[in-house]
């Protein structure tokens, strides 16, 4: 095999580590960006938080770079001039001071710091016991706290503890009574009847309906804990225990025939059952609450829409002037190289932050420019928009627009929306125009909201109504849009009133 050397010209795109960092920071959400900034502050001594007002932080990267350069120049001048005598710090002369007086002047009073509770406050023993429960407790912790107050015998207390551990997040017992009794085999002689008896005790705990084995039992327990004088209480208990399946299927004709209730009576009973909670334990869910911080704020000022970045969501950083002043240009010592490398890294980090904010503001401004009708008239005025439209308008790649709009939120007079919300496909109209899928969903929601509850609109009927408005949508498309906005089918929307 003959070997030879050839020369070939070509272009190849190489992503440097700095460019990779800029791309990664662009797609971070607000919470992830906060973590990234915190990690940068901990790892890079050249970065520090800027405690100044947000108005003074608009040009943080440029000002920080100039400040660092000035500090470098001053450091060199200081080293050339030599060490100067620093002003001495005045010291206290304790030996020549007079004796300390017994009564020293004070600038505060005891009552200003430690205030006593008002006399009208109820005593601790007079307060409701449930007020002492910690609001962040899980459902199991809340039930165990009540169990400790119940004063059950040791064996029943143990059985109740096992039952509580078998309750899921919805407040329902996830295993059978027989399985719970069998878990004590070899240790204690526990029968299924004993477990059932303890289970009935737990079913009187808070929240109402907890420790139920079925949905019907959970609703029945909640009805039983209502005031006995509540209208239709007994009838609702009988209906839930015997005909809950028919009520869930909205089969009111069969329900009237089997329960012997009239239409008006059945409507009252169904209204009472509709006030119950099918998931009694959901209020004690252990899932943390996540709060969304918008990065873009849209306001209407003097008849024009103004787009601004949220100053509360922007990290305010700057170069540490003290450490930056220690960097020397011609010094290649280990310490100076360490400081110089971190200074370069800090400058690039601030540049990435500024680039992220500029890109986000540019994209959000163009989105608002296209969707002004939505901000003025609502969802029905939403225009079709895809990522490529914004990419061409701001002269960026489509992937950059996707990163810039992912998990970023915009606060508008109409509410809080993710930037991705403003992008939607389109459906052709009879006149040759286009309608956004978001606008079609809004029309479907409006039609269903105004329908006759006794005769809900079917998907075919909704498609026919939209076609009368020159919007060509198939029945399957209507069903897909309806399901995307969590609206049940027509047979599940049927009501007596």
pTM: 0.66
pLDDT score, position 364 = 95
CB contact at 8 A, 41 and 48 = yes
Cβ atoms within 10 Å, residue 18: 14
205: closest CA among 153, 280, 277, 272?
A: 280
Local structure of 495: helix, strand or coil = coil
CB contact at 8 A, 358 and 105 = no
CB contact at 8 A, 275 and 261 = no
Cα–Cα distance between 180 and 44 in angstroms, integer? 56
Whose structure tokens read 């009501």? 495
Q: Which two tokens stand for residue 404?
A: 């810039």
Dihedral in degrees, nearest 10, Cα atoms 250, 251, 255, 256: 100
Give the rounded distance of the alpha carbon of 23 from its chain centre: 24
Residues 6+ apart with CB under 8 A from 97: none
Sheet holding 304-309, edge to edge: 304-309, 296-301, 409-412, 415-418
Query: pLDDT tens string for the chain (497 positions)?
Result: 678 888 888 777 666 777 788 888 888 888 889 999 999 999 999 999 887 644 444 444 444 445 545 554 554 444 444 444 444 433 434 344 444 444 445 454 444 444 434 433 444 444 444 444 444 578 899 999 999 998 899 999 999 999 999 999 899 998 999 999 998 888 888 899 999 999 999 999 999 999 999 999 999 999 999 998 999 999 999 999 988 888 888 888 888 888 888 888 888 898 899 899 999 988 886 566 678 889 999 999 998 999 999 998 888 899 998 888 888 877 888 888 899 999 999 999 999 999 999 999 999 999 999 999 999 998 989 999 999 999 999 999 999 999 999 999 999 999 999 999 999 887 877 777 788 889 999 999 999 999 888 889 999 999 999 988 888 888 999 999 999 999 988 888 887 75
pLDDT score, position 288 = 66
Residues 6+ apart with CB under 8 A from 242: 259
Q: Which two tokens stand for residue 301?
A: 């000022």
pLDDT score, position 149 = 92
């Amino acid at each position: 095999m003959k070997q030879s050397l050839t020369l070939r010209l070509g272009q190849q795109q190489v992503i440097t580590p700095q460019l990779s960092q800029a791309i990664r920071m662009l797609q971070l959400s607000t919470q992830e960006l906060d973590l990234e900034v915190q990690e940068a502050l901990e790892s890079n001594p050249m970065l520090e938080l800027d405690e100044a007002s947000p108005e003074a932080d608009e040009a943080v990267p440029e000002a920080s770079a100039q400040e660092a350069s000035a500090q470098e120049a001053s450091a060199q001048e200081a080293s050339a001039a030599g060490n100067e005598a620093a002003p001495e710090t005045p010291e206290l002369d304790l030996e020549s001071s007079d004796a300390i007086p017994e009564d020293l002047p004070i600038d505060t009073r005891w009552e200003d710091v430690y205030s006593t509770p008002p006399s009208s406050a109820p005593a601790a023993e007079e307060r409701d016991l449930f007020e002492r429960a910690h609001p962040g407790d899980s459902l199991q912790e809340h039930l165990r706290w009540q169990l400790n107050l119940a004063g059950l015998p040791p064996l029943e207390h143990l059985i109740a503890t096992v039952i509580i551990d078998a309750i899921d997040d919805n407040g329902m017992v996830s295993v059978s009574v027989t399985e719970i009794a069998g878990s004590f085999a070899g240790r204690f002689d526990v029968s299924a009847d004993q477990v059932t008896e303890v289970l009935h005790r737990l079913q009187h705990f808070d929240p109402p309906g907890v420790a139920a084995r079925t949905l019907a039992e959970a609703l029945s327990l909640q009805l039983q804990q209502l005031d006995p004088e509540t209208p239709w209480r007994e009838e609702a208990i009988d209906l839930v225990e015997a005909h809950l399946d028919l009520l869930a299927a909205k089969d009111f004709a069969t329900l009237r025939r089997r329960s012997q209730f009239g239409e008006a009576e059945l409507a009252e009973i169904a209204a009472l059952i509709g006030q119950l909670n099918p998931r009694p334990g959901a209020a004690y869910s252990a899932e943390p609450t996540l709060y969304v911080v918008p990065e873009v704020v849209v306001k209407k000022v003097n008849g024009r829409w103004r787009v601004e970045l949220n100053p509360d969501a922007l990290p305010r950083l700057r170069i540490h002037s003290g450490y930056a002043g220690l960097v020397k240009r011609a010094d290649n010592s280990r310490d100076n190289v360490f400081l110089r490398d971190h200074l370069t890294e800090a400058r690039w980090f601030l540049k990435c932050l500024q680039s992220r904010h500029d890109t986000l503001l540019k994209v959000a401004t163009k989105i608002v420019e296209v969707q002004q009708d939505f901000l003025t008239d609502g969802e029905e005025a939403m225009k079709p928009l895809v990522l490529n439209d914004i990419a061409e308008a701001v002269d960026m790649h489509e992937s950059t627009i996707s990163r810039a709009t992912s998990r970023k939120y915009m606060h508008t007079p109409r509410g809080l929306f993710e930037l991705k919300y403003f992008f939607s496909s389109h459906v052709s109209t009879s006149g040759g125009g286009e309608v956004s899928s978001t606008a079609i969903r809004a029309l479907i929601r409006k039609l269903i909201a105004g329908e006759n509850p006794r005769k809900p609109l079917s998907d075919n009927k909704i498609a026919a109504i939209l076609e009368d408005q020159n919007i060509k949508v198939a029945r399957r498309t209507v069903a897909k849009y309806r399901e995307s906005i969590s609206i049940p089918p027509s047979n599940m929307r049927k009501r007596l009133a």
